[in-house]
Chains A and B, each alone.
Chain A
């Protein structure tokens, strides 16, 4: 049920929740959302839901403490001490589970831990900095931490973005419609594109990386880059669409990253809520780019090592973070200026390098990573039992997904549709995408053989 693309969520939990939510008088809708979110989480994590509730309570307890010494004489030190304590608690929990996960497998990780602890950290920092006009009530804070659209994989919304004071929340049929359209767009992106391209990536894996031709290796990298984007963007659209349907503002997490003109820009447009989290709570507190180049680079390094580790505990994620650090540093030092002058070079450079960084991200086994890189850059020869024609087979099988995927990466395509979202054809397209996605979900869930044919 915790997956937005599960039939149970689509046709049971969500419609039922939505009905109850709107039947509830406005004043009590936060209570409905809180209870619904706890049920949602408890179905996915019957034990760790207790951990979540304890963490919510502890964080509120400390936030109150931080807030309460705001006017005292030794206010600053008092606040700082309390902030450090609660951050140690939040970060400690995250690090503990990440470390356990690295040894015992990621299945031990509580659902959404990486996301809700980041919300907690940002909340404490915002309280510390006095960015809250007043301390929110426990209920509102708990809703913010646990709300089901965001708990599994974000977006990492800030408390102030969420208009949790309900008088600010806006309800209307138009908003419901708008949110639903985002949701369906996300569902289609995930189910009709990401899940299909995932099969291509799996197929390539099945051959064994030592035996793929270089063109197929690049096709695989491109397909994986699209898959990852459509998977996460699709998910984020669904999450934000639900939030809009519930009266919250739309939280943007992706801004057509593959249309970027540099790697730095790519990362300002990819998983934006994570990027801005690291910017506001790591990079800038460390001094940002105010202290000259060496300090800037040190701060960047900190951000990228942490970003790598946040995504996973194995060595390939550290390498991935370091690779991005290097690419972004080089741009910061001077290459970026070239790209602003010649955007086309920047675009090609980005489209060429980002898929390579995603290969680092995808392959947790360093031996496999090495094999894949050898096939991407076959300067040293290599390759066993390579079939040079393999690229044609997979292009033949997947060209339509790749084509639609490539179009869907172009900003003006989705802007065009978004502008005309009330046009009858777009309305019908939305309905068609929804049912086609459900059709694909059912045949995948029910008939794995259709996708696992031998």
Chain B
């Protein structure tokens, strides 16, 4: 009875202490199993931070129940001893056998998760779309007889190349823009929203550009992906600027693999369109100096790789940094508050740059 009275006196306190201890134990026990992919220094952060981090990535704390004992070999000795005593009667062999098994399943899980949705893409390229490709490919053939139907990037055929020229705003009447928050800004403040279509979303990456629901279907208003939108409407130009959000993940090679796949897919869906691959807009000098990930060295590396995709026949590389950067090649500090995005009134510079870099065939 006295205990119940005591519980009634301070239920929040007791609940927080108990849940706090439970989360700490979960974090400590799962450190080398369900949370093994997280960087963690127990001196700097409490164990329950791991549980929170895991929860943020979709790993529920109770998943630890299936993993108790896993990763025995990876424990750096002492700490594990504490938890090992909890594994009643389980021999090390058992543990290691289980570990190997689960490590495999985990890594395959991981692959599935991190690899781009190739299968989905294959599914989508059904015969119907191939037909439309053939249909629309014919006018190209008649106009440019030397271009043999397929003008996928990397094609080695000798084709006619084009130079940039200045165009007027109606150039954007049949343009589509794909991109992250910078392109969202161009949509909101560039004054092109009446003319061009924008398939842009904050934090969009090359990996989810075709899976995010970021467009509205004309007529029904249903939310659709950029891929669906591009298969429903034909454009004369497609502008693509992606890459800053993924600076922290993967290498330039993995990034470019996906980037090429996206460009090829756009080419499939939009056989007539001029594709503008845009260099990633840089950041300011002070951001560049302090940020280990979002800096201009990383951006330049990606941009150099993106530029190689250009064939100057149907795919063109344009780099707005020419217009918005200072003499040192950093984003002009005057043009931005947060060192990454242009202030609204400076999107005009980007638009002018695009107008000076039109391709007319």
Flag if A454 contacts B337 (CB, 8 Å): no
Which partner residue on chain A sits nearest B293 by CB separation?
Answer: A449
Q: Which of A15, A385, A445, A454 contacts B244 (CB 8 A)?
A: A454
A190-241 interface (Cβ within 8 A of B): 202, 205-208, 210-212
Residues of chain A with a CB closer than 8 A to B182's CB = 454
Return A200 CB to nearest CB of chain B, in Å: 14
Q: Which of B48, B202, B343 contacts A453 (CB 8 A)?
A: B202
Residues of chain B with a CB closer than 8 A to A8's CB = 46
Flag if A449 contacts B16 (CB, 8 Å): no
B169-226 interface (Cβ within 8 A of A): 180-182, 188-189, 191, 202-203
Interface string of B32-58 (1 = CB under 8 A from A): 000000000000011011001101100
Flag if A443 contacts B16 (CB, 8 Å): no
Of A180, A207, A210, A454, chain B has the most CB atoms within 10 Å of the CB of A454
* B70 interface contact, C-beta 8 A: no
B1-52 interface (Cβ within 8 A of A): 6, 8-13, 15-16, 19-20, 24, 45-46, 48-49, 52
Flag if A427 contacts B181 (CB, 8 Å): no
Q: Which of A12, A177, A181, A439 contacts B46 (CB 8 A)?
A: A12
Residues of chain A with a CB closer than 8 A to B266's CB = none
Flag if B345 contacts A208 (CB, 8 Å): yes
Q: Given A177-B9, A431-B12, is A210 in contact with B345 using a C-beta cutoff of 8 Å?
A: yes
Return A208 CB to nearest CB of chain B, in Å: 3
Flag if A180 contacts B343 (CB, 8 Å): no
Which partner residue on chain B sits nearest A424 by CB separation?
Answer: B11
B283-306 interface (Cβ within 8 A of A): 294
Flag if B180 contacts A449 (CB, 8 Å): no
| Interface residues in A, total, Cβ within 8 A | 45
Q: Which of B45, B191, B244, B343 contacts A208 (CB 8 A)?
A: B343
Q: Which of B12, B189, B337, B340 contacts A181 (CB 8 A)?
A: B12
Flag if B337 contacts A205 (CB, 8 Å): yes
* B248 interface contact, C-beta 8 A: yes
Flag if A207 contacts B344 (CB, 8 Å): yes
Flag if A387 contacts B45 (CB, 8 Å): no
* A369 interface contact, C-beta 8 A: no
Residues of chain B with a CB closer than 8 A to A445's CB = 49
Flag if A454 contacts B191 (CB, 8 Å): no
Flag if B338 contacts A385 (CB, 8 Å): no
Q: How far is the CA of A173 from the CA of B13 in the complex (A)?
A: 9
Flag if B12 contacts A206 (CB, 8 Å): no
Q: Which of A12, A206, A447 contacts B343 (CB 8 A)?
A: A206
* B347 interface contact, C-beta 8 A: yes
* B237 interface contact, C-beta 8 A: no
Q: Which of A184, A212, A446, A454 contacts B202 (CB 8 A)?
A: A454
* A124 interface contact, C-beta 8 A: no
Of A206, A424, A447, A450, chain B has the most CB atoms within 10 Å of the CB of A206
Residues of chain A with a CB closer than 8 A to B13's CB = 173, 176-177, 180
* A434 interface contact, C-beta 8 A: yes
| Interface residues in B, total, Cβ within 8 A | 42
Return A183 CB to nearest CB of chain B, in Å: 10
Which partner residue on chain B sits nearest A426 by CB separation?
Answer: B12
Q: Given A173-B6, A211-B344, is A447 in contact with B12 using a C-beta cutoff of 8 Å?
A: no
- Name the prevailing secondary structure of the A interface residues: helix
Q: How far is the CA of A212 from the CA of B294 in the complex (A)?
A: 27
Q: How far is the CA of A387 from the CA of B190 in the complex (A)?
A: 10
Q: How far is the CA of A8 from the CA of B20 in the complex (A)?
A: 14
* B357 interface contact, C-beta 8 A: no
Q: Which of A12, A212, A427, A439 contacts B11 (CB 8 A)?
A: A427
Residues of chain B with a CB closer than 8 A to A205's CB = 337-338
Q: Which of A390, A427, A443 contacts B53 (CB 8 A)?
A: A443
Flag if A453 contacts B181 (CB, 8 Å): yes
Flag if A173 contacts B10 (CB, 8 Å): yes
Flag if B52 contacts A439 (CB, 8 Å): yes
Residues of chain B with a CB closer than 8 A to A181's CB = 12
Residues of chain A with a CB closer than 8 A to B203's CB = 449, 453-454
Q: Which of B12, B294, B345, B347 contacts A427 (CB 8 A)?
A: B12
* B150 interface contact, C-beta 8 A: no
B93-122 interface (Cβ within 8 A of A): none
Flag if A454 contacts B341 (CB, 8 Å): yes
Flag if B6 contacts A11 (CB, 8 Å): no
* B264 interface contact, C-beta 8 A: no
Residues of chain A with a CB closer than 8 A to B20's CB = 11, 15
* A377 interface contact, C-beta 8 A: no
Q: How far is the CA of A427 from the CA of B16 in the complex (A)?
A: 10
A160-182 interface (Cβ within 8 A of B): 172-174, 176-177, 180-181
Flag if A446 contacts B49 (CB, 8 Å): yes
Flag if B16 contacts A447 (CB, 8 Å): no
Flag if A442 contacts B56 (CB, 8 Å): yes
Flag if B10 contacts A174 (CB, 8 Å): yes
Which partner residue on chain B sits nearest A438 by CB separation?
Answer: B52
Q: How far is the CA of A184 from the CA of B17 in the complex (A)?
A: 13
* B228 interface contact, C-beta 8 A: no
Residues of chain A with a CB closer than 8 A to B16's CB = 180, 184, 431, 434
* B312 interface contact, C-beta 8 A: no
Q: How far is the CA of A436 from the CA of B125 in the complex (A)?
A: 43
Flag if A176 contacts B10 (CB, 8 Å): yes
Flag if B245 contacts A453 (CB, 8 Å): yes
Can you spell out 12 A-B residue pairs with CB atoms less than 8 angstroms apart? A7-B49, A173-B6, A173-B13, A176-B13, A210-B345, A211-B189, A384-B344, A422-B8, A442-B53, A447-B53, A447-B56, A449-B203
Knowing that A15-B20, A212-B344 are A-B contacts, what are 4 other residue pairs whose CB atoms are under 8 Å apart, sorted by A's residue number? A11-B48, A207-B189, A427-B15, A442-B52
Report which A residues bind B (CB closer than 8 A).
Answer: 7-8, 11-12, 15, 172-174, 176-177, 180-181, 184, 202, 205-208, 210-212, 384-387, 390, 393, 422, 424, 427, 430-431, 434-435, 438-439, 442-443, 445-447, 449-450, 453-454
Report which B residues bind A (CB closer than 8 A).
Answer: 6, 8-13, 15-16, 19-20, 24, 45-46, 48-49, 52-53, 55-56, 180-182, 188-189, 191, 202-203, 244-245, 248, 294, 337-338, 340-341, 343-348
Leading 8 A-B pairs by shortest Cβ distance = A211-B344, A453-B203, A208-B343, A442-B52, A177-B10, A11-B46, A173-B9, A384-B345
